[in-house]
Amino acid sequence: MIPDYLKFIRVQDKKILPFLFVVVFIMIGFYWKNNGYKINQSDVYYLSGIVSILLFNSIYELKAFWAYKCVTKAMDFTFFTGKKPGRIEKWFSHPFVVSIFFAAVFGLFIKGVFLLYPSMYVMIPLLAISPIFIYAVFRVLRTSYIKQVATAAVEKVKYKHLYRYIVAYVILGLALNLLTISPLKHDADFSLQAGVFPTEAVVAMFILCCIVLMMNLLFTRLSKRYIFLGRLFLKEIDFYFSVSLPWPAFHAKPFWWRMILLLFIEFVWIILVSMLLAWSGWQLWFEIYFLICFLPCIGFNYLHIYALWHRDFMMACDMYFRWGTIDKQTHLW
C-alpha cells in the first residue's frame, strides 16, 4: 500500500529533528570548545554563519530527493493536487537565498538572546532553538520543493561533471571548518613565535587537522544515490556525469593503508610548513596557516568523496534504468 504523504513526513520528521540536534550540537559545541567554553557578542557572525551553512546543506539537495519520490510514486501525493508554486516562491525558496536571509535573521536572534541572558547562559537557548529554526525552514521548503518538482523544466544539464559537484561541496565544508576553528587563532598552542622549530604548534596543528578530517569523513557517509537518481529524473545531470574514477590504484588500497599514508604525509607536511614560516618570519592569518597545513587532508577528502559518490552515481544509473523497465512493464504505478 502506498503511504499517504502526511503520514510519511510525520515518520520522516521523527528522524530529521534528532539528527539536526546532533549536528548542531557537534558544530556549535566544537566552536564553543575552541573558544575556551565562552560565547560573547563578537561571535554572533561566526555562529550565524555556521548555522546557515548547516541549513544550506540540509536543503540543497532536498528537491532532488523529492523528485525521486514523486517519479517513482513512492507515496500518495494527492495532497498537492492543483497546488503550483508562484514565481516569488520559487525565487525565495532557492537554497542560497534562503541561507542568506536565515543568516541575517539568526544573527539578530542571537543578539536578542545576549540582551536577555548573561553570556554564560547563551549556549542553552542557542543549542535548544537552533535545530528547531532549521527544522521550521526545512518543513516550509519541503512543501515548496514538492510543488516545484511537478513543474520542473530543465533546458540544459545543470551539473556536467562530478568533480565540480564535489569541489563545491569541499569548499563549503572548508568554510564551515574555518568558522568552527577560528577561535583557535588566540590559542598560544598554535603560535609560531616560540622559536625556529615550534614543536607544540606542530603537534597541535596535526591533532587539529586529524579531528577536522575525521568530522568531514563522518558526514560523507550519507549516501547520495537517491539524490543522484532524483537529479537524473530532473535531467540536471546526465549519464556522463562521472565516467571514471581518478587514481584507481590509490582507491584499490585498503582504507586503513590510505589513512596511515595520509597521516605520515600530513605530519611531515606540517613540519615543513611550520619550519618554513618560522625561519622566514612570515606572519600568516591563522586560517591561512590552517588551510596550507590541511592541504593533504583536503586532497584525501576529495578523492575519498569522489570514490563514494562515483559508486552512488553508478547505483543511481542502474536504478534509473530498472525503473524505466518497471514503468513500461507494469500498470501498478
**pTM for this prediction:** 0.90
Cβ-based neighbours of 145, under 8 Å, separated by 6 or more: 62, 63, 66, 93
- 268-315 pLDDT, tens digit per residue, is 999 999 888 878 777 888 899 999 999 999 999 999 999 999 999 999
**Residue 329 predicted with pLDDT over 90:** no
Residue 186: predicted pLDDT: 83
CA distance between the termini of the chain:
11
Residues 60 and 71: their CA atoms lie apart, in Å, by 19
The pLDDT confidence band at residue 333, using thresholds 50, 70 and 90, is: very low
Residue 154: predicted pLDDT: 59
Cβ-based neighbours of 139, under 8 Å, separated by 6 or more: 13
Contact 48, 106 (CB under 8 A): yes
DSSP state at residue 4:
B
Cβ-based neighbours of 107, under 8 Å, separated by 6 or more: 44, 45, 47, 48
> For helices 225-233 and 62-71, what crossing angle results, to 10°?
70
Residue labelled with grid coordinates 542571537? 110
- 251-273 pLDDT, tens digit per residue, is 889 999 999 999 999 999 999 99
> Higher-confidence residue: 328 or 305?
305
The percent of residues above 70 in pLDDT, for the chain, comes to: 92
**Residue 99 predicted with pLDDT over 80:** yes
Residues 79 and 100: their CA atoms lie apart, in Å, by 30
Residues 63 and 227: their CA atoms lie apart, in Å, by 9
Residues 316 and 224: their CA atoms lie apart, in Å, by 9
- 39-84 pLDDT, tens digit per residue, is 888 899 999 999 999 999 999 999 888 888 888 877 777 777 777 7
- 204-221 pLDDT, tens digit per residue, is 899 999 999 999 998 888
Contact 3, 76 (CB under 8 A): yes
- 175-207 pLDDT, tens digit per residue, is 999 999 999 888 877 766 655 456 788 888 999
C-alpha pair distances (Å), 35 with each of 237, 275, 288, 327, 332: 42, 27, 18, 55, 57
